[in-house]
Amino acid sequence: MSDEPVCVGVIAGAFGVRGEVRLKSFTAEPSDIATYGPLSTGDGGQSFALTLTRPVKNGYAARLGGVATKEQADALRGTRLYVPRHRLPALPDDEFYHADLIGLEVVDTGGATLGRVKAVLNHGAGDLLELQAPGRSTTVLLPFTRAAVPTVDLGAGRIVADPPDGLF
């Protein structure tokens, strides 16, 4: 695991006229976004202290340090907010942060390369690993279940998969 910044939320725009923003949290427990310390922009150019003020539809109303007007809040619309990986809590052995999986090599049980994890998706029925397979212009969606993905070795930077028949 690297200490690359991990995206934990995005500013959806201004909320009201006094500088509050509408914030969408990507954390497992949405209110935990306020516990990770200052949040930074992707390039690290800006850092914000965050105070959640109240829940709103699809997120939270929040105050960001240094943002006092509606115009300043509107200018931040679409800004993704990041924290260093080390500020996130440790997980049990069988759980993983999506950011830790992206970029890992995926091999089958025989050791043949299947591709690299491009993204981790969840459309409501469970997580899917989006793999970019070598020599393919399209991606492949691999169910992220214990049956299809028996081994995730973050230290070695690889995932061992047993894909369903016909997937590759």
Query: Taking the chain (168 residues) in consecutive chunks of 10 residues, what is each chunk's mean pLDDT?
Result: 82 93 92 93 91 93 95 95 90 86 94 94 88 90 93 93 86
Alpha-carbon separation of residue 23 from 8, 35, 64, 98, 148 (angstroms) = 10, 14, 10, 20, 35
- The number of domains in the chain is 2
CATH of the domain at 134: 2.30.30.240
Pair (53, 112) in one structural domain? no
Does any domain span residue 42? yes
The neighbour count for residue 100, using CB atoms within 10 Å, is: 19
Q: Do both 104 and 141 map to the same domain?
A: yes
Q: Please, what is the Cα angle at 111 between 109 and 117, to 5 degrees?
A: 85
The per-residue pLDDT for range 93-104, each reduced to its tens digit, is 888 888 889 999
Q: Which residues span the domain enclosing 14?
A: 5-87
pLDDT at 167: 79
Tell me whether residue 119 is in a domain.
yes
Residue 58 belongs to domain with CATH number: 2.40.30.60
Which amino acid belongs to residue 105? E
pTM comes to 0.75
